[in-house]
A and B are shown apart, each in its own frame.
Chain A
Amino acid sequence: MKSAILVFPGINRERDMARALKLISGHEPAMVWHAETALPAGTDLVVVPGGFSYGDYLRCGAIAARAPIMDAVRAYAAKGGLVLGVCNGFQILCEAGLLPGVLMRNARLKFICHDVHLRVERSDTPFTRGYNAGQVIRVPVAHGEGNYEADEETLKRLEGEGRVLYRYCSPEGVVDEAANINGAAHSIAGIVNEAGNVLGMMPHPENHVEDIMGCTDGRGLFAGLTAHLERAA
């Protein structure tokens, strides 16, 4: 797997992401500076990591979404290339128009930094094939703006087309208001675009991949991507 991690000023999770990708895929990812205009040849996964690009000025992800490298990412995604955005990366992908909707301020106005449970809604996608449908995983979140919102029409399409891949839930897998940490519409934690090759999610699977982290539930996402790409190759 040849992955490329985008690096913007203010991003701070790129090394966690690189470590997880190296550990699980066996290949060192390329770090790609935002001012570049092309992705490394042969890239088969682009990752937009978490952090606080441009200090969250204007709107979270708004300025990074207009960086030169994003034109290359748009062209790459249009050709079906896999793109994964985590946390600020999810916000950047929404601002860039690669995913619908927007991440608003958390409904209870607090920055949330703790483990959450996610229900994996389906297993037949490159981003979830390392899990079973309905499986509950535990991964951390760390965000102040993770409250996913979109207009009714968009939400209907996301649900109808099975594009919600991850939802906040209780440890038992129950999706309800109590488990919906940030007030997101339909408890959405992660969605894909229409073609299914661009995933944005608020939680950080890259931070639950080694025993020393106390949990390895995040491995499935990267293992699934690696298996998908090896099969395609």
Chain B
Amino acid sequence: MVGTGSMEIIDVLSDVNAATLVPAGPLSVSESVRIPSLTSTVSELQPVWEKYLLCDLVNYFNTKYRDELFSILYRNEFLQMLLRDVIDFVVKELQDSAEQFNIGISLEREDPEDPEQRIIFLIVCGKWKFRDFNERLDAMVKVWKYMESRKNEYLKNFPLDRSKIEEAYFLVSVFIGEEGDDCEVFPTR
């Protein structure tokens, strides 16, 4: 997300196995179809979904900042849903385009008036079959468009929660890195 130049990166969460929800280690393409806990749709959600979804997501990202991540996601259930849906989509959509990839998350603070708020960046790094940057960019566009479609779907299904849904939409960004990049995001100076 575009910031003002004073953005502070406060977290590094990286290298999670998207297929099995077991932290650390690259995603094997052959394993990447096994994502049972990240595949339910809005219409299938059960009354207890929120509790399990939140726990799944917090455990999914292998971080020492578990409590902070929990509190960020706890604020907005649509943030949880959007993250879950985007991760699910990324894993399915990119498996044929990669030999392996990792999904990391970076939490960045941009608004000094709302110190609790964090911008969430999903960072996907790997060894791609893309021939050039433009193909990777096209893959990013596909993920972004999917994110937008999920937002519209949430708005349709939960019209009373518009502000929460839009907040979640603005708080999440997705980047696809390349081999040589790192899912780690170092603190800014």
Please determine whether chains A and B interact with each other in the same assembly.
no
